[in-house]
Amino acid sequence: MESWVPLMKIFINSVTPETEASLWLQSSFNSSSHSSFASFLSLLMQPIEPNLINTSSSIPTKQRDEILGFETDRFMWLQTLPNTVQARILSFLTYEHAKFNKHDLSKLARELLVNATEVDFWVKRAANQLLDIVSDSNFKWVTSLNLDSEEEKFEEKFGSMPAWLNESVNINGSVPVLPWLPVSVDDMNTGLPDVTREDDEDLMVDVEDIKDDKYGKVVNLETSGTRHELVNLESGLVGLVDHEVKESALRLKTRILNMESSLKVAELADEIRFLVFEKKADSLTVLSLIEPWNADDEIIPILLSRLSEGNEGDFVITTSILCSVLLPKFLELDKPAPRVLLSATIDYCKAHHKPAVYALLIPLILHKNGINNSICDVLTRIVKECLHPAHVSAICQKLLCEETTNGNEYICLPRYQHLVSKSLVWTESLFNLFQIILNHDVRLTQDSVNRLVVHVRELALRFSKSLKFANFLLCFVSKCGPLLGIHKVVLSEAVGNTSSFLTKSILSKLTSID
């Protein structure tokens, strides 16, 4: 156990545990010897009796209580570690799987997935990845089948038409289009309308007209491999809303400004839900008519809760609620957000990750005037409390590496689109936000780091005396050092253009990069 203590410290404390653990492994053991690696796996899979867990002081109390609550006879030593450390170890084993015995790795992953109780989501995901990479997926078993001996049976069962099809062909006496289907050429032409190309083109024009009249411009958002279609209102009210729904929405607009009790707010929210779900009206159109962003901050939590009730999994509905209730308030934020508003926002974003990204996080970061301190505080809370670091890394890559969004990567009401830019507007607060992201153990990709270096070089003179810019640079060099080797010269020149008391420290950090 003692020989593996340095490795465990890396998993607990390192920002990039897989890379550092791999380097430590190479420097500490002969890569051609598997005995030491086997002993590490033996340690991870070592059975721990419940009574020993109860007396162990090295296991976190919460983790120990959870383990002791399971109904099982024994546990692996790996399961006594915090969930984050478990996930990091499994990720490392996936990265270095070639150095370990595949059978042992497969056994470890299966033990966690099959026999363990209440496994953490990220631990389960890492175990699945490990099992996928060490599992043998081949079809050697096919060669053991004696297919020749079964050829006649196969032809009898699957190579001939069913009896009822043969009978149909004999009855009709027609030559089939396809030999296995009793459909003749005459049958194919019967009942089909004579459609010319001009008719087809006219039909497409009609379809496009209806689509434009009803929905306006449709924006396709691709998130995690899922294609979503959302309404992007460009001007005025778009969508088929009948006169009755429009009148009802305008009445609710007046009432929302004069709410006196939480009971009336709940009733109002229920009426809005009736318009959207019972009348089948477009949610974004109805909400833009009602203007719920003008409601008092104290009633926002009730509105959010009641409007999304029963539609928690509907991406379009939850996104419409966010961009019409919360986004307008934060786009015009010039002082610290009220506590009740911020708490309601965090609770909602925790429950709706994707809508939070596309209807709040991205449009706020792309603020046309650049984010200020107040907006930065809101974004910080969302990043830290609502999103996984890997998700934040993907968002940074999207914002940094895709030069312009063209309006296709966020949702915003038309009257507020003038406050959202198509690209990042760099301010001290934006650099501060990226520093907070890096300190939150978010590992940026190499292409994201490359783009940040470009922006640093371009903006060094402009922010030469900015302490926030200097703090970002120091954090950037410290956290992303292994990815900055090819940029040492460019970064040194950029840092040389700054004149803060941190300049020497940043240059010293740059010098130590290999």
| DSSP letters for 102-164 | HHHHHHHHHIIIII-SS--HHHHHHHHHHHHHHS----GGGGGS-TGGGHHHHHHHHSS--HH
pLDDT digits (tens, 9 = 90+) for 452-497: 999 999 999 999 999 999 999 999 999 998 899 889 899 999 999 9
More reliable by pLDDT, 285 or 156:
285
Q: Give the DSSP H/E element, type plus range, for residue 8.
A: helix 5-13
Q: Tell which of 443, 458, 476 closes a domain.
A: 443
Mean local confidence (pLDDT), 30-41? 64
CATH code for the domain of 420: 1.25.40
Confidence band (pLDDT; 50, 70, 90) for 448?
very high
| pLDDT surpasses 50 at 138 | no
More reliable by pLDDT, 318 or 31:
318
Provide the domain count of the chain.
4
β-partners of residue 62 are: none
Does 248 lie in the same domain as 271?
A: yes
Query: What amino acid is encoded at 422 in this protein?
Result: K
Does 169 lie in the same domain as 114?
A: no
DSSP letters for 358-403: IIIIHHHHTBTT---HHHHHHHHHHHHHHS-HHHHHHHHHHHHHSS
- Taken as a whole, the chain contains a residue count of 514
Q: Which of 158, 184, 160 is nearest to 171 (CA)?
A: 184
Q: Tell which of 394, 416, 443 closes a domain.
A: 443
**Per-chain mean pLDDT for the chain:** 75
Does 463 lie in the same domain as 380?
A: no
Structural domain harbouring 156: 142-174+179-189
Q: Which residues contact 514 (CB under 8 A, 6 or more apart)?
A: 485
Query: What amino acid is encoded at 79 in this protein?
Result: Q
Q: Which pLDDT score, from 0 to 100, does residue 160 have?
A: 58
Which token pair is 128? 């699945």
Does 291 lie in the same domain as 184?
A: no
Does 514 lie in the same domain as 385?
A: no
More reliable by pLDDT, 230 or 497:
497
Q: Which pLDDT score, from 0 to 100, does residue 22 have?
A: 79
Mean local confidence (pLDDT), 444-448? 91
Which token pair is 421? 């830019």
Grouping H, G, I as helix, E, B as strand and the rest as coil, residue 232 is strand
Mean local confidence (pLDDT), 344-366? 92
Does 367 lie in the same domain as 293?
A: yes
Q: Which pLDDT score, from 0 to 100, does residue 409 have?
A: 73
Q: Which pLDDT score, from 0 to 100, does residue 455 have?
A: 94
Tell me the pairing of strands 226-232 and 47-48.
unpaired
Please report how the helices 339-351 and 373-386 are oriented relative to each other, as an axis angle in degrees rounded to 10.
40
Mean local confidence (pLDDT), 173-199? 50
Does 147 lie in the same domain as 126?
A: no
Q: Which pLDDT score, from 0 to 100, does residue 381 have?
A: 94
Q: Which pLDDT score, from 0 to 100, does residue 384 have?
A: 92
Q: Tell which of 124, 159, 189 closes a domain.
A: 189
Q: Are 109 and 134 in contact (CB under 8 A)?
A: yes
DSSP 402: S
Does 276 lie in the same domain as 291?
A: yes
Q: Are 475 and 435 in contact (CB under 8 A)?
A: yes
pLDDT digits (tens, 9 = 90+) for 67-126: 444 444 456 788 888 888 888 888 888 888 878 888 888 888 888 887 666 677 788 888
Does 346 lie in the same domain as 207?
A: yes
User: Count of CB atoms within 10 A of residue 445's CB?
Assistant: 15
Q: Which pLDDT score, from 0 to 100, does residue 168 have?
A: 57
Confidence band (pLDDT; 50, 70, 90) for 507?
very high
Does 216 lie in the same domain as 164?
A: no
- d(CA 428, CA 421) in angstroms, rounded, equals 17
Q: Are 399 and 392 in contact (CB under 8 A)?
A: no
Query: What amino acid is encoded at 207 in this protein?
Result: V
Grouping H, G, I as helix, E, B as strand and the rest as coil, residue 225 is coil
DSSP letters for 352-364: -HHHHIIIIIHHH
User: Count of CB atoms within 10 A of residue 406's CB?
Assistant: 10
| pLDDT surpasses 80 at 223 | no
DSSP letters for 17-63: HHHHHHHHHHHHS-TT--HHHHHHHHHHT-EE-HHHHHH-SSS-HHH
Q: Which pLDDT score, from 0 to 100, does residue 271 have?
A: 84
Q: Which residues contact 493 (CB under 8 A, 6 or more apart)?
A: 457
Cα-Cα-Cα-Cα torsion 168, 173, 174, 177, nearest 10 degrees, comes to 40
User: Count of CB atoms within 10 A of residue 393's CB?
Assistant: 17
Tokens 């490359």: give the residue: 450
- Of the listed ranges 26-40, 196-210, 433-447, the one predicted with least confidence: 196-210
Which token pair is 64? 């120990």
Does 239 lie in the same domain as 169?
A: no
| C-alpha dist (Å) from residue 202 to 197, 212, 441 | 9, 15, 56
Mean local confidence (pLDDT), 393-409? 76
- Of the listed ranges 14-18, 116-120, 446-450, the one predicted with least confidence: 116-120
Does 362 lie in the same domain as 455?
A: no
Mean local confidence (pLDDT), 392-397? 92
Mean local confidence (pLDDT), 212-224? 37
pLDDT digits (tens, 9 = 90+) for 238-296: 445 677 778 888 888 888 877 766 778 888 888 888 877 766 667 778 888 888 888 88
